Amino acid sequence: MIITGKGPLKAMYLEEIRQKNLVSINILTPWLEAKDYPTIVGSADLGISLHTSTSGLDLPMKVVDMFGAKVPVLAKRFKCIGELVYDGINGRLFDDSEELYEQITELAKGFPADCPDLDMLKNHVRNHNYMPWETMWWKRATIRGVLVPPIRNQDMRRFMILLVILLFVIFLIVAPKWVV
């Protein structure tokens, strides 16, 4: 199992895993260069997302990465995750560790040769034409176009930054007139 990420709870989880003395499972936590990340993700049979949202409105970009690499996902259920992960189609949703365990066990039956449930999820993700990363980001992560999307074209990027600055300056000029 490869665990990516460097969140504030990483050390705690790694210590918890170490204390379990797992015999048949190898845990790797490599630091990946950006160029290596898609290769590692794409080599997985299944991704797991433990992301939750305090607002319930943000979506995990790791799941978008996994879909872009044609990997189905088991994702922690929260308010809007169903907009990205369609339960039983491109992944599965779970509420707790027991349900996650059941899903992994069910999907791994017959692994690696004969896993019909896992194969169905993999085939859907592989055959689905997911949008490019920038398009997905724009649709899912910006708030009504207020944020600047990750544009690769430098001229367009400069234009968008100038536009945001201009809108901010206009707001600074107009906003004091709103206060009575």
Band the pLDDT of 123: cuts 50, 70, 90: very high
Cβ atoms 91, 117 nearer than 8 A: no
Per-residue pLDDT, averaged over 61-77, amounts to 90
Band the pLDDT of 122: cuts 50, 70, 90: very high
| Number of structural domains the chain divides into | 2
Per-residue pLDDT, averaged over 62-80, amounts to 90
Q: Do residues 62 and 102 share a domain?
A: yes
- Structural domain contains residue 134: yes
Handedness of CA 121, 79, 131, 1 (dihedral sign): negative
DSSP 106-157: HHHTTTTT--HHHHHHHHHHHHS-PPPHHHHHHHHHSSTT-SPP---SHHHH
Q: Do residues 94 and 36 share a domain?
A: yes
pTM: 0.68
Q: Do residues 159 and 98 share a domain?
A: no
- Structural domain contains residue 115: yes
Q: Do residues 39 and 52 share a domain?
A: yes
pLDDT in the model for residue 144: 46
Q: Do residues 135 and 148 share a domain?
A: no
DSSP state of 1: -
Q: Do residues 59 and 96 share a domain?
A: yes
Per-residue pLDDT, averaged over 39-54, amounts to 88
Instruction: Give me the long-range contacts of 90-97 (CB less than 8 A, separation at least 24).
Output: 90/121, 90/124, 90/125, 90/128, 91/47, 91/63, 91/121, 91/125, 92/121
pLDDT in the model for residue 42: 86
Better pLDDT: 33 or 46: 46
**What share of residues in the chain are helix, strand, coil (percent, to 5)?**
45, 10, 45
Cα separations in angstroms, 71 against 66, 89, 123, 137? 5, 12, 9, 18
pLDDT digits (tens, 9 = 90+) for 78-119: 988 998 999 999 999 999 999 999 999 999 999 988 999 999
Q: Which helix (H) or strand (E) holds 92?
A: strand 91-94
CATH code (residue 58)? 3.40.50.2000
pLDDT digits (tens, 9 = 90+) for 125-168: 999 877 655 565 566 655 545 555 555 566 666 777 777 788 87
Q: Do residues 67 and 115 share a domain?
A: yes
DSSP state of 161: H
- Structural domain contains residue 6: no
Cα separations in angstroms, 35 against 25, 31, 39, 41, 77? 26, 12, 8, 11, 30
Band the pLDDT of 19: cuts 50, 70, 90: very high
Q: Do residues 132 and 154 share a domain?
A: no
Per-residue pLDDT, averaged over 55-65, amounts to 82
DSSP state of 78: -
Q: Do residues 39 and 116 share a domain?
A: yes
Least confident of 3-7, 54-58, 122-126, 154-158: 154-158
How much of the chain exceeds pLDDT 70, in percent?
81
Q: Which domain covers residue 154, as residue numbers? A: 142-180
Give the closest residue to 63 by CA, choosing from 96, 90, 30. 90
